Structure 1
Amino acid sequence: MRKLFPLLLLLFILQPILSQRPEGAPGNGPASITISGTVLDQETNQPLEYATLVLQSIDNPDRVTGGITDLDGKFSVETTPGKYNARVEYISYKTQQLPNKTFEESTDLGTIKLSLDVAQLNEVDVVGERTTVEVRLDKKIYNIGKDLTTSGATISDALSNVPSVNVDIDGGISLRGNENVRILINGKPSALAGFGSTEALQQLPADAIEKVEVITSPSARYDAEGTAGILNIILKREKTLGFNGSINMYAGHPTNAGITANANLRTDKFNFFTTIGYRYREGPGNGFFDTRYFDPRQDAFLDSIAYDRNIEDRDIDRINRGINANFGIEYFFNKQSSITGSYFLRTGSDEDLTTNINDYLLNNAPQVGTTRSELETEKDNTHQISLNYINRFDDDGQVLTADFQYSVDTENQNGFISEPVRYNNTANTDISIPREETSTIEDQTEYLIQSDYVLPFGEDSQFEAGYRGNFENQVTDYSLLQENESGNLEVNVNQTNIFDYTQNVHALYSQYGSKFGDFNFLLGLRMESTQLKGKIESQLTEEELQDEFSFPIDTDFDNNYTGLFPTVNLIFEFNEKENVSLGYNRRINRPRSWFLNPFPSRSSRTNIFQGNPNLRPAFSNAFDLGYLKRWDKLTLTSSIYYQIESDAFQRVQEQVFITGPGGSQVEVVRNIPFNLATNDRTGAELGLLYNPFKWLRLNGSVNYFSFNLNGEFNGVNYSQSNNSWFGRFSSKVTLPWKIDWQTNAFYRGASDEVQGRSDGILSINLAFSKDFLNDNATISLNVQDLLNSRKRSSFTTTDFYDQDSEFQWRQRQLRVSFIYRINEQKKRGRPEREDDGGEGEF
């Protein structure tokens, strides 16, 4: 109840407003009359369905009523007698004004004919089709336009085409080569972004995105979380009156299919919106691992068979299916204020079957061969309720917003593991690797309470202040069952556990911005108080737990941190088309629950990932110097940046022993995160948007970065220097018969890692599309990873082995998609009211 108090207070304040009965409403005035008529296209005389009649009272301008036309273009609206300014509107048509009308009785306005607004169509189509970039004091905004390669794809796929952003083959997102990036939806943490992970972004449709804000120098308004910066994904919301929507269907090979429907009905008082979709995807992947041990080792599971080499061939068959749905309504109290409520649902039912063919060799002579089969099932249910109130007090920009968000997520994972022997060239005939079953139940709850206030000063200055409270709790219940000598499954008490994790963050901020001639600045300060709590429940004693993890840990911790995070953003404009910017910010990287949970997860029998409860937050100071120049057909963006991070996280591999069936000690390779002393990053990026002809658009960017790691763990020094780069290129060509052809290419250069190196990766996507049915429909063909080359190849060396590996998360995909738009017509339309998607900007 303590966390719900601000919401209840907000609703109490708004209750008198919500309970007011508009003047002239039923039961509060004279009998109603009916205003009717028919709306037609002036050129074709075809009826215009969903055209809007708006009636605004002259005596009381805040009182607005209206309605929409039916399939035959007819409308019938009930109102009270009086004087009105009437108008008839339809998307992309000129508005028909009917000023100063007196209606004393029911009236038929007859036939009203609307003509196309040609100038508006030309202007909006150009903007809607083109990918553009805007530079603000604290961000770059990429209006991603009509990206053919992501039709029928996911948000994760769309982000891979945004400059400065890299999406690796596992779906991990990095910004300028740094994986600690904060993902926001409409300016707020959201269940749509997967509670801090990126899995949900691989399930949501890319068609939902309007623009992406790349915030490498965040102002004080934003979370201080994420040392790399912030990616703020702004979702589409229709601003035009009337009804509009779209249906997107796709299918492809390997088998993947889905359908997404969007609908929006907007009047002067209400805006109803919904998106609902179903997806089914089969994602075959593969891997190869060749591990060579410096000294022969013995595996308890193989009955002490000695080997010095393990060759693993891995095939992965995935099935992902689920439903995403979003329902919402916005009510406009007047032109200045509104309240929006929405409900989001995501369900998933996934199955992953991983088959590992293992060969164990000694002096290159095959000893034993096994086939490990691991079936993992997962059911996921996410629910999110959101409320947003906004009040624009005046036309000068004074704005108050208040948000409440409640999210719950439940995941149930079950794993079934068996590893029968394929061949045995040893004298031991009793080799039998025990079966395993794992169960993970994860429940997560999150509350968000936020309020922001913007107060302009004069024409060129602005003050802003706000509060955000984020309260998260995650309970992970993990159990491991292993086959005993009698063939029955029994609980491994050394691994079975419950981990209860809580993260609470309170934040206050203020910032001030102003403009002096061609010079703009934005100064801010944010204070964040963080509480990280974790408690481990296990059948092991405290002493047994310490022995199991091989390093001291706190099984019931409560860590509190309070920090100040200043921000400075400056821009000097040489003219309207050229500017230089400078930014500074301090940020924090808080360890997530899976980095803190000390009980291991098992990716294979001999490879585990184990969290580290001793992890501390990492802090960074970052500087960014940018330059932008626009010509008539060319836009150049560039920047150089430097970041120094203390207590940076890094994962390493080491050889340890864990307790197996019957108390046996099993040697495994453990991946574990720890705090480095420092991590210095330096880099530069360059981007070009070039539109030499109406039929040709080119877009390219390159990012180079280097970093120096300095630190040690368990007596091993992991200090190193590294550099790498990545680049992308996109071209869009309009062929004869108005067929659009788009090519996207991405290359990530080779890089040195803490324990080895990674090879470069090349990926090319192709797409073709054609509009028809008066541009209401589009059919597209796209190929993801044309060369089937999106694979991670790496070499790892440790004190006890060398390993060559290659891993492909998803093979080449072919997809055909069909989109049909209802009253949208490729982004045509006139906004009635600007909406910043939850992000005020200076």
Structure 2
Amino acid sequence: MKIIVKVLCLVWFSVATLHLQAQRTGLAPERERPQIGVVYGSVTDNSTKEAIQFATITLISKRDSSAVTGGITDEKGRFRVIEIPLGQYSVEVNFIGYKIQVLSGVKLSPRESVERDLGEISLEPASTMIEDAEVLASKELMRLEIDKRVFDVSQNITSAGGSANEVLENIPSVEVDIDGNVSLRGSQNVTVLIDGKPSGLTGSSRQAVLDQLPASSIEFVEIITNPSAKYDPDGMGGIINIILKKNKLFGYSGNISITAATGDNYNGAFSVSKRNDKLNIFANYGSRYADRFSERRTDRITYDDTRPSELIQEGRGSRVNFSHNMGLGTELYLSSKSTVYVNGNYQLKESNDEDRNEFLIFTDMNGLTSKEEYFRENTEKDSGNIIGLNVGYELSFIPRQKVLSVDFSFSNNSSEEVGIFNEFENPGNTFNYIERNDIGNDFQFYSGQIDFENRIGENWKIETGIKSTQRKVGSDFKAFTNSETSDELVLADSRSNDFEYEETILGGYAITGRSLGKLGVQLGLRAEQALTDSYLVTTDSLFENDYFSFFPSGHLKYQLSQEKELMLSYSRRINRPRTRQLNPFTDFSNPLLIRVGNPFLLPEYVDALEASYSFRTKAFQLMTSVYYKQVNGVMSRLVSLEDEVSTVSYQNLNSSINQGLEVILTWKKWEKWNMMLSGNAYKTASDGSNVDSDLSNEGYAGNANANITYKSKGWQVQASARYRSPFVILQGEIQRIFFSDLAVKKSILKEKGSLGLRVSDMLDSREFNFETSGGNFEQKGRRKRESRNIYLSFSYNFGKLENKNKRNKAGSSREGMDGIDL
């Protein structure tokens, strides 16, 4: 709703400006007055004293009653209008649902002052209501803030019926690979948050959570490529913050949506909320069922002077995911100054994998070639749940010059996995080996923080805070193998392990910001003490790694004009090792690909510098960015080969450099068309000479996204396409990927409902191809998952929303606009 209002306000200003120009056409030229005037202040509700965002500020010339310039209030209700021609004005303050407030006698002159502080301007709510209203304005696809880009995804129909992963695929510079791994500008070292909280999104659980989170529950996606010191420093590539839908208007509203797709894929979602002047409560539920096939082929050649060989592995399988997602939250308004909030979420998940692989090994010895063939069947069942709780309190000092907030979060992600592996030498299933793996995983996250914001006048801002987080991760792996003396499976102690990891981080930050006319400056520093323990219970081995770190940040923003601005930012961030990388016990679950962690693996640090230019008109918005990132102590996955068995291990390398150019263009030249194009080109270079003199690589890569939407008479058509070029990795290269989607939606039931049809990966071209090599081997591989599906969806909105300050006072008029009937 806020975005719609903002668009309406921008349209209003554009019309007013055109009208002003038309009025002056044909008039005699007059001497241009210096444009050095500035007015600033804040806008609040006179009853609740809450800040009003997106209120319009219009300066009307006393000379000819024309609208000269204006502005819009920010999220704190503040405004600052610059480059005003000197003269006398009246200032008109307006917002939908409020009575217009006019301030007369505002004079800007060198003799008195070219700057005027209008103070706190209070608006009186209008008390009337419109039973039926049709909102025609469309939301902005992207808006820029000093340290982030915000994308509205609520209108994206090419992800309708899909998951959060499919939403992220439509975000510029964000990529999601075939396994659900998320990357930003080519880096998978990215932090993903939901409503600003981790919510159990760590390690392999991230892919599962995002794949089972319905796209229909997401409203915005925030991309923070160079976060300030206020944010946790984890995630070297930046931060992706997924904002779920919540109602911020008075009244009640809800939505029901269901989707069915080819290949046995279904999902449904329901959300409802109600808000008054004392309480806001909201709840949602979503369920997903997905059955998708996969296939793969790997061809590896091993070079050995006495026994060269070739291994061909082919496999095909299916994966069934079933999940329930539930959320419940409330905001209690104790007074106009203080708010208490409580949010909870629960996810129940289950997956079943079935896989069959064929292995062919050709060995050349003394000129003779031998052939060995065997099969391996895998069956895995994984079930678990995620519980999250967030409690907080916010106290503001009118007019929100000072804000104190306290926040506590807890989440628990637990799962039980059972995998059964059968190996046999011929299709007749004459087996010679059976193994069952029972894996118990548990992840707990605790977070507590206190933040304080103080605005000193209109130009200074100081923010400070402290935070403590604790992560506890447990992985109990038990392997059972067939016995030579019995048909029963027995515990194999040599292949089983119990690993625990605990991490405590104590941190604090301080940020100061200053507005100097057209220039905005923000500097920050964060300090953290990390205490980590890795404990291998199986061998009673404890590994401690404590470290102290500083994370400075800086942001500059220069307003060239109302349409153009420059931004420069710097930040230092960290990527900490995951438990799988730290666990020193050897994982034999795949006999041809064993894994072993490194408990002495250190975190890697990145220094990131970025410069951006933004140009915006009514019809389009262009943003270009150049960036440079240097990573020190790179954590890298290394593969070695011996006796036909690959071993994966982890080491810290010297460094890597990533530098590139990003361009994002949103275009709305015509009323019915929307278009967003983006491209990212970059160069990467890795230096691993501290491990091996030949362990270095560099190359160029890029990606491009296109999203085009057409709307007319209740119809909406959207097409999207994504391309990623080949790119180098430390020991090889990943091949190019291209895929495209198409969707159609029709409004029905008096605009309250809609029917949608979409086709994902129309050309069935989305697959993962790679080439890797080492000192004694070369390998090529292809992996493909089911990606071309046809989705049919239905959505229905219900309820009545009203302006948050609607009141039926005695004697009030019945005019205004503070109600929207959905």
TM-score, with length taken from structure 2: 0.79
CA deviation vs aligned residue, 1:660-713 (integer Å, no higher than 9, x gap)? xxxxxxx52112221111111111101111112112111111101111111147
Could you say which residue in structure 2 is the equivalent of 1:531?
A: 531
Output aligned runs, 1:243-642, within 5 Å: 243-295=252-304, 308-362=309-363, 367-422=371-426, 433-486=432-485, 487-538=487-538, 555-601=541-587, 604-642=590-628
Query: Which residue of structure 1 lines up, in the alignment, with residue 52 of structure 2?
Result: none
Which digits, 9 at most, give the CA deviation of each residue in 1:773-798, with x for residues without a partner?
A: 11111111111211111111111222
- Partners of 2:792 and 2:295 lie apart in 1 by 24
Residue of structure 2 equivalent to 1:100: none
**2:750 maps to what in 1?**
774
Q: Is the counterpart of residue 751 in structure 1 residue 727 in structure 2? A: yes
Percent identity between matched residues is 27
2:802 matches 1:801: no
Shift of 1:443: 1.5
1:790 and 2:766 are equivalent in the alignment: yes
Structure 1 residue runs without a partner (length 5+):
1-59, 64-91, 97-111, 298-305, 425-429, 543-554, 658-666, 834-842
Say whether 1:198 aligns with 2:218.
Answer: no
Cα deviation digits, residues 208-230 of structure 1 (max 9, x gap): 22212111111111011111111
Aligned-pair distance for 1:259? 1.2
Residue 233 of structure 2 contacts residue 573 of structure 2 at CA under 8 Å; is this kept in 1? yes
| Counterpart selection for 1:181 from 182, 185, 190 | 190
* 2:241 equivalent to 1:232: yes
SS in 1 for 2:765: coil
Q: Is the 8 A contact 1:307 1:360 kept in 2?
A: no
Alignment of 1:735-746 (within 5 A): 738-746=714-722
> What amino acid maps onto 2:130 in structure 1?
S
Structure 1 residue matching 2:610: 3-state secondary structure:
strand
Secondary structure in 2 matching 1:823:
strand
CA distance in 2, matches of 1:194, 1:535: 18
One-letter identity of the residue aligned with 1:392:
S
CA distance in 1, matches of 2:284, 2:649: 40
CA shift in 2, pair 1:829/1:283, >3 Å = farther
Determine if contact 1:529/1:562 at 8 Å carries over to the other structure.
yes
**Partners of 1:265 and 1:271 within 8 A in 2:** yes
> In the TM superposition, what is the alpha-carbon distance from 1:169 to its structure 2 partner?
1.3
| Counterpart-to-counterpart distance in 2, 1:456 and 1:182 | 29
Q: Secondary structure at the match of 2:166?
A: helix
| 3-state DSSP of counterpart to 2:304 | strand
Contact 1:654 1:671 in 2 (8 A): yes
Task: Sort the Cα spacing of 1:134 and 1:672 in 2 relative to 1 into closer, same or farther, 3 A.
Answer: same
Residues 328-370 of structure 1: CA deviation (Å, up to 9, x unaligned) = 2211112221111122101111101111122222359672332
Q: Post-superposition shift, 1:745?
A: 0.4
Q: Which residue of 2 aligns with 1:719?
A: 696
Query: Which of 137, 141, 152 is the aligned partner of 1:126?
Result: 137
Structure 2 counterpart of 1:671, which letter?
V
Match of residue 820 from structure 1: 796
Change in CA separation of 1:558 and 1:831 when aligned onto 2, cut-off 3 Å = farther
CA deviations on 1:201-254 (whole Å, 9 max, x unpaired) are: 111112222212111111111011111111122222101111111011111111
Asked if the contact 1:296–1:308 (Cα under 8 Å) also holds between the matched residues in 2, the reply is no
Partners of 2:765 and 2:604 in 1: CA distance: 35
Report what 1:683 is aligned to.
660
Cα deviation code 1:627-682 (max 9, x no counterpart): 1001221110110001111101111111257xxxxxxxxx5211222111111111
Q: CA deviation at 1:473?
A: 0.5
Q: Is residue 174 of structure 2 the alignment partner of residue 155 of structure 1?
A: no
Within 2, Cα distance between the matches of 1:366 and 1:656? Answer: 19
Contact map agreement 1:369 1:423 (CA 8 A) in 2? no
Structure 1 residues 241 and 479 mapped into 2: Cα distance closer, same or farther (>3 Å)? same
Q: 1:729 corresponds to which letter in structure 2? A: A
Once the two structures are superposed, residues 169-190 of structure 1 have per-residue CA deviations (whole angstroms, 9 ceiling, x without a partner) of: 1111111111111112222322
CA distance in 1, matches of 2:503, 2:248: 37
Q: Is 1:708 aligned to residue 707 of structure 2?
A: no
User: What is the alpha-carbon distance in structure 1 between the residues aligned to residue 221 and residue 96 of structure 2?
Assistant: 29
SS of 1:242's partner is: strand
User: 8 Å contact 1:137–1:522 — kept in the other structure?
Assistant: no
User: Contact (CA 8 Å) 1:95, 1:114: kept in 2 or not?
Assistant: no
User: Do the aligned residues in 2 keep the contact of 1:733 with 1:741 (CA within 8 Å)?
Assistant: yes
The answer as to 2:733 corresponding to 1:733 is no
Deviations 1:514-536 (A, max 9, x none): 11110001100101111111110
- Cα distance in 1 for partners of 2:741, 2:369 equals 43
CA-based RMSD: 2.8
Deviation at 1:832, TM superposition (A): 5.9
> Which amino acid is 2:468 matched to?
G
Are residues 635 and 149 of structure 1, via their aligned partners in 2, closer, same or farther at CA, if it must alter by over 3 Å? Answer: same
Instruction: Tell me, in whole angstroms, the C-alpha distance in 2 between the residues paired with 1:271 and 1:341.
Output: 11
Aligned length: 687
Question: Does structure 2 retain, via aligned residues, the 8 Å contact 1:505–1:531?
Answer: yes
Task: Give, as a single letter, the amino acid of the residue that structure 2 aligns with 1:501.
Answer: Y
The change in CA–CA distance for 1:144 and 1:383 in structure 2 (over 3 A counts) is: same
2:475–2:500 contact (8 Å) kept in structure 1: yes
The one-letter code sitting in structure 2 at the alignment partner of 1:584 is Y
In 2: Cα distance, 1:820 partner to 1:331 partner? 28
The residue matched to 1:524 in structure 2 has which SS? strand
Q: Classify 1:380/1:702 alpha carbon distance in 2 versus 1 (closer, same or farther; 3 Å).
A: same
Question: Residue in 1 aligned with 2:155?
Answer: 146
1:832–1:317: structure 2 CA closer, same or farther, 3 Å change rule? farther
**What is the DSSP-based 3-state SS (H/G/I as helix, E as strand, rest coil) of the residue aligned with 1:557?**
strand
Contact 2:154-2:218 within 8 A present in 1 as well: no
Q: CA separation of 1:140/1:831 partners in 2, compared to 1, >3 Å: closer, same or farther?
A: farther
In the other structure, the counterpart of 1:79 is none
Do 1:359 and 1:366's aligned partners in 2 also have CA atoms closer than 8 Å? no
How far is the alpha carbon of 1:494 from its aligned partner?
2.2
**Alpha-carbon deviation of 1:307?**
8.0
For 1:337, the aligned partner's letter is S
Amino acid in structure 2 at the alignment position of 1:711: G
Q: Secondary structure at the match of 2:362?
A: strand
Query: 1:184·1:193 contact (CA, 8 Å) conserved in 2?
Result: no
Aligned position for 1:170:
179
Conserved? CA contact 2:495–2:587, under 8 Å? no
| Secondary structure, counterpart of 2:303 in structure 1 | strand
Distance 1:648 1:526, change over 3 A: same
Q: TM-score, normalised by structure 1?
A: 0.78
Q: Is the 8 A contact 2:727 2:733 kept in 1?
A: yes
Residues 337, 390 of structure 1: 8 Å contact kept: yes
